[in-house]
Amino acid sequence: MDTLDEIIHQPVRLKIMAALKALPARERIEFVRLRAIVEATEGNLGAHLATLEKSGYIEVEKDFDGKKPRTRVSLTASGRRAFERYVSHLRGILDGAA
């Protein structure tokens, strides 16, 4: 990877990806919890999730918990690999600066 992944590099999306990477594989997090973690507004988070979903990095699942709508987000295998490449690239930059 010669350049940083511009999809991940945006600060809110980077926070989203880091939060999802911290979960076990295929584990989901509820939208409201993710919103609190990344400190984004509902609309802002929704827009960034749409970008990540379009890239294939995340999956968004909408269902109901009883009568209450629920949105849950998980990292895809492709997203996990992309984030690992991104972190590796950053480490390479930092190692080169030392």
Q: List Cβ neighbours of 11 (8 Å cut-off, separation of 6 or more).
A: none
The predicted structure's pLDDT at residue 36: 97
The predicted structure's pLDDT at residue 96: 78
| Domain regions of the chain by residue span | 6-93
The predicted structure's pLDDT at residue 1: 52
Measured CA to CA, the distance from residue 28 to residue 80 in angstroms comes to: 13
The CATH classification number of 6-93 equals 1.10.10.10
Q: Which helix (H) or strand (E) holds 19?
A: helix 11-21
Across the chain, which has 98 residues, the per-10-residue mean pLDDT values are 86 97 94 97 97 98 94 97 95 81
Q: Strand order in 58-65's β-sheet? A: 29-30, 68-75, 58-65
The predicted structure's pLDDT at residue 66: 94
The predicted structure's pLDDT at residue 98: 63
